[in-house]
A and B are shown apart, each in its own frame.
Chain A
Amino acid sequence: MNNNENNIILFSNDELKNIEDIKSHYPDSKSALLPVLWIVQEKYGWISEDSMKCVGDLLDIPYEHILGVVTFYTMFNSKPIGKVHLQICTNVSCMIKGGRELFKYVSDKLGVKNKETTSDGMFTIEEVECLGSCESAPMMQVNNKEFYENLTKEKIDKLLEELHKKNI
């Protein structure tokens, strides 16, 4: 397979056009790496070795560099994860408002430990650092996007149920 074919498999034409636009934001197209990795992750949920190689071809960056970048940033997943990624903050402001107990509650309820995925592939849970929402502690982020704030056991129960329904 040549590079072109790879990239067409990884990205749609619209996405490729978008990537061209992103490249034009920087004097050096290699700087488009983070935004392009975001596109891959949002589409596939994680960034595989093959994806990294394709992105490398597209932006003319060696695979090793991309691997280094993907593993440096905690939000990039270099392994597949569950459909719903629950990231619970346990840093100070959340911790003193029950963040750790909340994490344990979710962990016990789902029967998985930190960074593990439930056997049905639905939920991955992760203890994370401060998400910049300390006023609404304890809180968590779902799928790198939505914040759920001022959490209680009741709110978590309801939310997990909803997320489960939405994702089967």
Chain B
Amino acid sequence: MKIILKDIPDLQKLDIYESNGGYSTLKKALKDMSPDDIINEVKASNLRGRGGACFPTGLKWTFMPKVTEKPKYLCCNGDESEPGSFKDREIFEKNPHQFIEGTLLSCYAMGIKTAYVYIRGEYYKWINLLQKAIDDAYKKGYIGKNILGTNFSTDIYIHRGAGAYICGEESALMNSIEGKRGYPRVKPPFPATYGLWGNPTTINNIETLANIPEIIKNGHEWFLKIGEPKHPGTLLFGVSGHINKPGVYELETGTPLMTIINDYCGGMIDGKEIKMVIPGGSSMPPLTKEEALTIKMDDASLKAIGSAIGTAGVIVMNEDTDIVKVLERISQFYYHESCGQCTPCREGTGWLMRILKRINNGEGRIEDLDLLTDVSQNIEGNTICALGDAAAWPVKWTVKKFRDEFEKKIKKESVSLPVKNKVHSLR
């Protein structure tokens, strides 16, 4: 079942999109549906945000004030900087108009006249692809003043980031659009009351918005039948690591991980065993091989074993992988990306990285394992934004689930690795 990355050649082109029913939902909605009808449909569909937190989209939209003197804004989050995530760029490339149509429907639903698409600066190519699609849609009267002859008007602008993972966090993203450093804001006030330039603002992920046209077109009952009812629809699984065919696969929620790995990704390279899988981008607690063998990929199933679906960026690691080195690299990332506003995050991420480095250098002590857990627990929940948690979770859970890997290194037993992080592409 594909909702977004449909198997239609050249769907990125406006005329092909139109000839496959594109923008007809917008047309119909502007004629036959009130803004509240759209919000109710999205609410009933149980669509949950695809940006990492799984927050119910319809509910989020109801936080926006209905009557206000102030302008309202939509931020479309295409920062996509969580290591292991590369799905939104696939939408920009393969089906940008469905994302644009979804953005327009969302703006209509919430009474928004300006939407900003925040895209990470490195996605230069994809920024240009989306800009082309936006330009084409402007020319055809789908975006701009008096859309399709109605009195609904909305502009869509791209805002290019400049390299900062933290700008994916919604309040940092708004500061970045305002021309400031990407510092997360203390909440409350929440964006729906005090967002961009102090005005009511909603932030949604690109994939979330790309789902909207199909939900409005086919109705919530149709959507609820796809995948897991509590987390319905499809997910764009971006799968990387030691598999034969890495890539983005759109599959129903609840698809077993092993189906993704074996049936879609061509299995493990050289038929090796799995050692660890990160299920949803590097901040999500990892899965052991045993967990990987049986897990279904949806919010509830992953939560039940102490992990989360995140951005559905799946990183698969084989038996030769040095887990402690991987964790050190993850910690190095969060240390580098911490904006430094909160002491637990700024100091804690440095501690985590240094302790892991020490263990990898053969200077670790067994007490270090408790120290790692302790430091991560002191970061978790004590910071302005969730980057602190994102840094803490992988450490806490990797130490818990793969403790023997750490102990072997500390006790200097040979960690049976034929080659450290065997190089596949450089052979």
**With A32-B179, A92-B315, A98-B426: A134-B326 Cβ-Cβ less than 8 Å:** no
| Interface of chain B residues 147 through 198 with chain A (CB within 8 A) | 155, 157, 159-165, 176-182, 197
Q: A97-B424, A129-B337 are in contact. Are A135 and B247 (CB under 8 A)?
A: yes
The residue that B246 contacts in the complex, of A25, A38, A136, with Cβ under 8 A, is: A136
- Please tell me if the beta carbons of A76 and B162 are within 8 angstroms of each other in the complex: yes
| Closest CB in chain B relative to A67 CB, distance in Å | 11
How near does chain B come to A39, taking the closest CB pair, in angstroms? 11
User: Of residues 301 to 329 in B, which have CB atoms within 8 Å of A's CB atoms?
Assistant: 313, 315, 317, 321, 325-326, 329
* Number of chain B interface residues as a range: 35 or more
- Cβ of B403 to closest chain A Cβ, rounded Å: 20
Contacts of A32 in B (CB 8 A): 179
Flag whether A9 is at the interface (Cβ < 8 A): no
Chain B residue numbers with a CB within 8 Å of A102 are 425-426
Knowing A97-B425, A132-B80, A150-B425 are in contact, say whether A38-B160 is a contact too (CB < 8 A). yes
Interface residues of A in 124-161 (CB under 8 A from B): 129-138, 141, 144-147, 150-153
Which residues 112-157 of B have a CB within 8 angstroms of A?
Answer: 120-125, 155, 157
Pick from A73, A131, A134, A145: contact of B238, CB under 8 Å:
A134
A98-B426, A138-B425 are known contacts. Are A27 and B71 too (CB-CB below 8 A)? yes
Interchain nearest-CB distance for A102 vs B (Å) = 6
Q: Is B27 part of the contact surface with A, judged by Cβ < 8 Å?
A: no
- Which residues of chain A are near B23, meaning CB under 8 Å? none
Would you call B83 an interface residue if the criterion is a C-beta within 8 Å of the partner chain's C-beta atoms? yes
| Contacts A35-B160, A135-B86 given; does A98 touch B424 at CB 8 Å | yes
Q: Let me know if B160 and A96 touch, CB within 8 A.
A: no
Cα distance A102–B315 when bound, in Å?
20
Q: What chain B residues lie within 8 Å of A130 (beta carbons)? A: 81-85, 282, 333
Q: Is B242 an interface residue (CB 8 A)?
A: yes
Judged by a CB distance under 8 angstroms, whether A100 is at the interface is yes
In the assembly, what is the distance between CA of A72 and CA of B162, in Å? 9
CA distance A93 to B421 in the complex (A): 11
A63 CB, nearest partner CB in chain B, Å: 14
| Interface residue from B80, B121, B179 paired with A144 (Cβ < 8 Å) | B121
In the complex, which of the residues A37, A65, A95, A145 has the most CB atoms of chain B within 10 Å of its own CB atom?
Answer: A95
Task: Determine if B91 is an interface residue (Cβ-Cβ < 8 Å).
Answer: no
- Count, chain A residues at interface, CB 8 A: 53
- Tell me how far the C-beta of B305 lies from the nearest C-beta in chain A, rounded to whole angstroms: 21
Say yes or no: B86 contacts A134, CB within 8 Å: yes
Is A117 interfacial (CB 8 A cutoff)? no
Contact partner of A96 among B162, B182, B242, B247, CB < 8 A?
B242
**In the complex, which residues of chain B have a beta carbon less than 8 angstroms from the beta carbon of A97?**
241-242, 423-425
A residues less than 8 Å from B81 (CB atoms): 129-130, 132
B121 closest partner in A (C-beta): A75
Q: Which residues from chain A contact B240 at a C-beta distance below 8 Å?
A: 93, 134-135, 137
Contact with A along B42-82 (1 / 0, CB 8 A): 00000000000000000000000000000100000000111
Given contacts A132-B89, A137-B240, A153-B426, 14 further A-B contacts (CB under 8 A): A27-B71, A33-B179, A61-B179, A73-B121, A74-B163, A92-B83, A95-B325, A95-B421, A101-B426, A102-B425, A105-B426, A130-B333, A134-B313, A135-B248
Inter-chain CA distance A76–B421, complex, in Å, is 32
A-B pairs, top 5 by smallest CB distance, nearest first, are: A33-B179, A75-B163, A73-B162, A74-B163, A134-B240
* Cβ of B336 under 8 Å from chain A: yes
Cross-chain contact A92 with B330 (CB below 8 angstroms): yes
A134 near B246 (CB under 8 angstroms)?
Answer: yes
- CB-based nearest B residue for A71: B181
- Does B3 count as interface, using CB distance less than 8 angstroms? no
Name the residue on A nearest B421 (C-beta): A96
A92 close to B238 (CB less than 8 A)? no
Q: How far is the CB of B357 from chain A (nearest CB, A)?
A: 14
User: Which residues of chain A are near B162, meaning CB under 8 Å?
Assistant: 34, 37-38, 73-76
How far does the Cβ of B416 sit from chain A's closest Cβ, in whole Å?
A: 17
Q: Across the interface, do B247 and A95 meet the contact criterion of CB distance under 8 Å?
A: no
A151 touches B83 (CB 8 A): no
Identify the closest chain A residue to B322 (Cβ).
A96
Across-interface contacts of A38 in B (CB, < 8 A): 121, 160, 162
CA distance A32 to B159 in the complex (A): 9
| Inter-chain contact A28/B86, CB cutoff 8 Å | no
Q: Is A118 an interface residue (CB 8 A)?
A: no
| Pairs A–B under 8 Å by Cβ, sample size 6 | A74-B162, A91-B329, A97-B424, A134-B241, A151-B425, A152-B426
Q: Nearest-CB distance from B79 to chain A (Å)?
A: 9
Contact A132–B120 (Cβ < 8 Å): yes
Question: Once bound together, how far apart are the Cα atoms of A70 and B160, in whole Å?
Answer: 14
Cα of A123 to Cα of B238 in the assembled complex, Å: 32
Does B278 sit within 8 A of A, measured CB to CB?
Answer: yes
Q: If A69-B180, A91-B83, A92-B278 touch, does A34 touch B159 (CB 8 Å cutoff)?
A: yes
**Considering only CB atoms, which chain A residue lies closest to B176 in the complex?**
A34
Verify if B391 is at the interface (C-beta below 8 Å from A): no
Question: In the bound complex, how far is the Cα of B336 from the Cα of A152, in angstroms?
Answer: 27
